[in-house]
Amino acid sequence: MKYIDAHLHINYGGFRKEQIDNYLKDPELEFCLLHTWQELRPSIPSLYQPLPLEDILDIKSQYPDRLVPFFAPDPTDPNWQQLMESALARGVKGCGELKVNLKWSDHALDDYLDFLNKKGLPLLIHMELPRRQFFIEKRSTWDKVLDKWFNNYKNGATRYYTERLIHSTVVLEPWLDSHLVDFAGYLYDFEGLEQRVKEFPNIKFIGHGPHFWNNLGAQLSPKHTYQQGTYHTFGLIDKLLSTYSNFFCDISGYSGWIALNRNHTQTKIFLSRHADKVFYGTDNVFLGQREFIKSLSLGSEIESKIFYKNIVSLIF
């Protein structure tokens, strides 16, 4: 079955021009949406990797019918509108990936969203909670072990219990505090998001990211960076997808993969219920997502919507 990757980056996660060249050799892959990342004032600079529009347009010139550019200037950039107008004139089809340390209620987004609304553009968003990030200069093997112990996405529970133990001993508490840096989060307030979705009905909001997919289930545990384990009641994103015709999601990245694998029965219900609202994507993470979707036996019509038809309707 043909498919479209709705969430891809160039020069991110080891995925450079050569990897895109090879990816596009797949005869079933119709095209990909390539997204930028611009953040002028990242709260932790080492976590930020600029992904400029120029890199996308350079490779698009070689694959004009296979790559669709998206662009999301930082809303705090005083020249964001000029940059966006120029990008649209150069063939950009949407805004993404918007991944900035703002809340949805921030006034910096007012004119930005109004512009997108008037243009009727889709908007891919990344949602991630604030946290205290463990930071250490990785000069030795031990430093690297500590970094992975505290920060690896799979180690939420390990970090949770380690920090509780350290705080209880008192002796190591100053050491831990000296290595914790405040991370401001990305667009994480669901209440503010819902207000914006209602306020700007011509924007097709596309949800993505750890905090977004953590809310597939209704219960959240502070032990996990990426929520783990089964659940039986759907959370906020089910409500948003059910309520608002201009709200969508993509299943890309580790966050989408982990969420959909928490409870396969619930995943099948979720994807069937929102078959017109879900986009297939990878975010440069290839974990067998296509095979997994097919294994759920959703039927060819639902599969074709997720893999292809929904994205075509979004862009054209």
User: Among the residues of the chain, which ranges form H helices?
Assistant: 17-23, 53-60, 80-89, 110-119, 141-151, 156-169, 173-178, 190-199, 210-214, 236-243, 253-260, 264-273, 289-295, 300-304, 310-315
How many CB atoms are located within 10 Å of the residue 297 CB?
A: 9
Question: Is residue 145 over pLDDT 90?
Answer: no
Distance from the Cα of residue 113 to its chain's centroid: 18
Domains of the chain: 3-130+184-315 (3.20.20.140), 133-181 (no CATH)
Q: pLDDT by residue (tens digit) across 10-28? A: 999 999 999 999 999 999 9
Of residues 9 and 154, more confidently modeled:
9
pLDDT interval class at 82 (50, 70, 90): very high
| Residue of 17, 51, 13 whose CA lies nearest to 253 | 13
| Residue of 203, 197, 202, 264 whose CA lies nearest to 237 | 197
pLDDT interval class at 123 (50, 70, 90): very high
pLDDT interval class at 154 (50, 70, 90): low
Instruction: Please give the share of the chain, as a percent, with pLDDT higher than 90.
Output: 78
The residue-averaged pLDDT of 196-212 equals: 98
pLDDT interval class at 153 (50, 70, 90): low
The residue-averaged pLDDT of 156-185 equals: 81
> What is the rounded CA–CA span in Å between residue 135 and residue 258?
25
> What is the rounded CA–CA span in Å between residue 316 and residue 299?
25
Q: pLDDT by residue (tens digit) across 56-73? A: 999 999 999 999 999 999
pLDDT interval class at 152 (50, 70, 90): confident
Question: Is residue 170 over pLDDT 80?
Answer: no
- 36-50, 83-97, 140-154, 284-298: which has the minimum mean pLDDT? 140-154
What's the maximum distance between 2 C-alpha atoms anywhere in the chain?
Answer: 60
Question: Is residue 240 over pLDDT 80?
Answer: yes
pTM (2 d.p.): 0.94
Under 8 Å between Cβ of 97 and 124 = yes
Question: Residue 38: CA atoms inside 13 Å, Cβ hemisphere, count?
Answer: 19
